[in-house]
A and B are shown apart, each in its own frame.
Chain A
Amino acid sequence: MSNFFKETDIDTSQAEAIVTETLKNCDDGELYLENHKSESIVLDDNKIKSSTYNSDQGYGFRAVTGEVVAYSHSNDISKESLRKSSDNIKDTLKSKKGTYNHEIPKTNSKYYENINPIESKTFNSKIDLLKSVNNYLRSKGSIVNQVTANFLGEHKSIEIIRSDNQILKDDRPLVRFNVSVVLEKDGKKETGVYGVGGRQSYDDYLKDGSWKDVCDEAFRIANVNLDSKPAPAGEMKVVLGPGWPAILIHEAIGHGLEGDFNRKKTSAFHSLMGQQVASEGVTIVDDGTLHQRRGSLTIDDEGTPTENTVLIENGILKNYMQDRLNARLMGTKSTGSGRRESYKHVVLPRMRNTMMLSGKYSQDEMISSVDKGIFAVSFGGGQVDITSGKFVFNCTEAYEINNGKIGSPIKGATLIGDGPSILKEVSLVGNDMKLDPGIGTCGKAGQGVPVGVAQPSILINKMTVGGTKL
């Protein structure tokens, strides 16, 4: 039984009948129902700047035949609205004929609890904690110019009704706690940002004063940047720290290994399956099954259980990430990577937690091997052009390396590289793999979904650093 039709003019079996009738000549499709509650509480400039609660519910009705997707969504869950969507879909696909694929794997695994983080911590205690963050950071001295802190919490319930009356369900909690601080010294201002989160309650990340660690880290980054000097410009060696810098992997090769771009042959990787695309020590996976991680999913947004997909093994390209549509057209199986931002969006193959696994070198060995280069510890966002393979990301904490020693911090610079060739430039893989703190959101085709990344320290032989100092 579905939970979505209680206060509507339609019941589960009537909805199932519409789904079955609509999809009878289609290859695939489903009725996706979603109830999404979220909150945002922001402290800024010594005040609670905003407190917002969002309540959103709706359906996305999808039919797929051949390569064609017909989609109709609405927040009006009613008989009339569903019928209208059904008519629309049938009209689009009127000249097509497909055979419905009933096969969908089942799972008993669960990678997170069904809790509602918004309700599991009182509004007052959230406000109090934000105030404590502000007081704690401002007590570090007049150098603190601005403090922003916020809670973002959500609970999403989804149901997928397939053509044979199967109903697949998932309940997904997600939280994020973020602190940003601006420091000012001698007329110079710099920002430091840090955050934590995942699919648990807020208190799992903040208890025993661990919120202070988040504040301290934001403060430390801003403080380092106050002493930064202009970054160098040109090609040089780059050592990446462990953890969050793995967004390099996400941008540089992750997107290029998503099924849709390879089926359409618009990815720079589309003809490289089975070939050496990285140095031998490089193994990269995309794992949806890590407990309570931001990018984890029990089932994806088509109902397929997620898995740990090996993308690159010892340098050889092994798999793309697939949703059902692209898997069918490429003659393979879904890897449980079919995701959508909400009921308003079509399914696309997406990353979950993308990780480069540990090798055998220490970070010290990497740094001491570099005559002239940079050591990048943390990044802001990144972006990729999957067709040309060019990708960028922005350093938020980085240092110069001179003669094997870490030197002065450098100003935020963009690093640019070429996806298909960058992994061949990875000469040392560290033994210190670390997960990111749970803060990533990936954007594709206008859809944002939560993701995770992980990597050990790595040494890249040659990358272009976009500083101002020649």
Chain B
Amino acid sequence: MIRDQEFLKDIASYCIENSKKLGATDVGVKVIHSVSENVSFRNKKLDESNRADSFAVNLTTYIEKKKSSINSSDLSKSNLEKLIERCIDATKITPSDENNSLPDKDLMSKEIRDLNLYDETHYPNDKKIEFLKKVEETASKDEKIVNTEAGFTENKNNFILANSNGFLGGYKTSNFSSSCVAVSRINGAMERDYEFGSTRFLEDMMEPEEIGKIAADKAIKKLGPKKIKSERIGVIFDKRISKGILSTLASAISGSAIARGTSFLKDQINSEVFPNSINIIDDPKIEKGLGSQNFDSEGVETNSLKLVENGILKNYLIDTYYGKKLNLKSNGRSGGTTNLYFENGTLSFKDLLNSEKKFLYITETIGHGGNIITGDYSVGASGFMVEDGELTYPVSEITIAGNFKEMFKNITLANDLEMKYSTNAPTLLINQMTVAGK
């Protein structure tokens, strides 16, 4: 089972002491142990079981303003000794950078709050199998479903983060996730869709029947898609993909993109980048939150941050290195955002669908067509046409394109926010985008 804090602390201390002995002026180290068990099913039969037991050490050594790192999965002291030596040798000959340093001591996390991130319940593989049987039985009820796959993963994780300024902290986390993929077929053409749930606690997992039913219903609904004509139209993003808008924002306001000048939001701090009804929050202290943390990946205290307030960009995501570069203090975002979300809009989902005569409703995008430097956006998409508030027919083999700067300013949010992932958004409308089809 998962190794305790003492075991991980011992390795962290060993790394710090040895690095210092060999000449490091500062040291940062993370030691992680994780155990993961996965069972997957296909067409109501066991397909795969997978057990993973993994250790990792990530060590960064500094000599004044010079810095180098090593990662290893072998925790034996003889191996670590060799690697530390290698790391120090590389540090000595790496050019110095005045921004390299450990975080300021007064920014470090002082106490570890129990955020309810660890459920010690072990869900044995036999139980996982029973769960998956129910998922697939429900998913395969309709004869149009020709293939189902389902999986259940249980993950337990423990870590220690420490540095030579005396910081040492860590805690256990757990994760349970289950998914179902259903393939539907009509007249020889197939469509695929899915559903999944991910929780810190087993008791919060969705019911298996619900997962199976949603996956199957969605796959059936997609059958017989049409390709539509190219046009400018309002595009509604389903909740599964609307969160992608927030991920784009997070990349564009990361300290590195801002400091390097490679963001379409450079110099936009305190400017209106969204409509004034929009608030965006990153809150690391949500109980049982999938993105929750006590401190960031450097040990810096992290607290709730309003990134966008009344449409105005208020904060960048800052770690120690880029903080020094930008003359800002770290706001505990080394490693990125935590639980990131849009505050709910005012329109109900129905009212949003009815706010114009015709929309394109997108449930899936494919491709990596977002450019953070220019803000240009173009991706493959599939979904449904919406006419008079109703989903009329499925649509595929089209693209949607625009520029994030304009897209951000033309967002309308629904009020159906759910905290299902670490980044969450309600259904949203972008008015308008270019759709390329026939």
Contact = CB atoms under 8 A, between A and B. Distances in A.
Interaction A to B: yes
Given A75-B74, A387-B183, A392-B399, 13 more contacts: A48-B95, A54-B72, A68-B48, A69-B48, A75-B54, A234-B436, A346-B48, A416-B397, A416-B398, A466-B369, A466-B398, A468-B403, A470-B434
A14 interface: no
Given A233-B436, A466-B436, A53 B399 contact: no
B437 A234 contact: yes
Contact of A383 (B50, B79, B366): B366
A190 B374 contact: yes
A470 B231 contact: yes
Contacts of B68: 51-53
Nearest to B78: A7
Contacts of A182: 261-262, 373
Interface stretch (B39-47, B112-120, B413-421): B39-47
B347 interface: no
A235 B46 CA distance: 44
B191 A387 contact: yes
Contacts of A70: 48-50
A74 B72 contact: no
B350 interface: no
A470 B230 contact: yes
A230 to B, nearest CB: 9
Contacts of B277: none
B107 interface: no
Interface of A: 7, 44-45, 47-58, 67-76, 81, 85, 88-89, 91-92, 123-124, 127, 131, 145-146, 182, 188-191, 231, 233-235, 264-266, 268, 271, 344, 346, 380-385, 387-388, 390-394, 411-414, 416-418, 464-470
A197 to B, nearest CB: 20
Contacts of A382: 367
B162 to A, nearest CB: 19
Closest A-B pairs by Cβ, 7 of them: A466-B399, A392-B380, A233-B436, A392-B367, A387-B192, A75-B73, A74-B53
A44 B260 contact: yes
Contacts of B183: 266, 387
A92 B93 contact: no
B262 A189 contact: yes
B436 A73 contact: no
A355 B222 CA distance: 33
B402 interface: yes
A414 B401 contact: yes
B4 interface: no
A145 B403 CA distance: 22
Contacts of B373: 182, 189-191
A465 B48 contact: no
Contact of B397 (A53, A58, A89, A390): A390
B141 interface: no
A67 B42 contact: yes
Contacts of A468: 378, 401-403, 434
A158 to B, nearest CB: 15
21 contacts: A47-B97, A53-B69, A54-B71, A54-B72, A58-B73, A69-B49, A73-B52, A75-B54, A191-B262, A231-B378, A234-B436, A344-B54, A346-B50, A390-B396, A391-B366, A392-B366, A416-B399, A464-B397, A465-B399, A467-B378, A469-B434
A153 to B, nearest CB: 13
A90 to B, nearest CB: 11
Contact of B369 (A124, A190, A414): A414
Nearest to B91: A51
Interface string B211-231: 000000000001001010011
Given A51-B90, A72-B51, A412 B379 contact: no
B397 A417 contact: yes
Contact of B380 (A88, A191, A233, A383): A383
A346 B48 CA distance: 9
A268 B189 CA distance: 8
The CB with the most chain B CB atoms within 10 A, among A70, A75, A127, is that of A75
Interface of B: 42, 45-55, 67-74, 76, 78-79, 83, 86-87, 90, 93-95, 97, 99, 125, 146-147, 183, 188-192, 222, 225, 227, 230-232, 259-262, 364, 366-369, 371, 373-374, 376, 378-380, 382, 396-403, 434-438
A35 B90 CA distance: 21
A328 to B, nearest CB: 15
A360 B222 CA distance: 41
A160 B366 CA distance: 36
Nearest to B382: A390
Contact of B55 (A76, A231, A464): A76
B268 to A, nearest CB: 14
The CB with the most chain B CB atoms within 10 A, among A47, A413, A414, A465, is that of A414
A433 to B, nearest CB: 26
Contacts of B232: 470
Given A123-B90, A233-B230, A266 B434 contact: no
Nearest to A191: B373
A52 B52 contact: no
A79 to B, nearest CB: 15
The CB with the most chain B CB atoms within 10 A, among A49, A392, A394, A469, is that of A392
Contacts of B90: 51, 53, 123
The CB with the most chain A CB atoms within 10 A, among B191, B192, B401, is that of B401
A414 B378 contact: yes
Contacts of B371: 191, 412
Contacts of B364: 385
B79 A392 contact: no
B42 A413 contact: no
Contacts of B87: 53
Given A56-B73, A123-B90, A146 B260 contact: yes
A55 B76 CA distance: 12
A233 B52 CA distance: 47
A69 B69 contact: no
B69 A50 contact: yes
A384 B380 CA distance: 10
Contacts of B376: 411-412
Contacts of A92: 46, 49, 125
B51 A466 contact: no
Contact of A390 (B69, B83, B95, B366): B366
Nearest to A225: B374
A55 B70 contact: yes
A271 B146 CA distance: 14
Contacts of B438: 234-235, 464
Contacts of A264: 42, 147
A146 B187 CA distance: 53
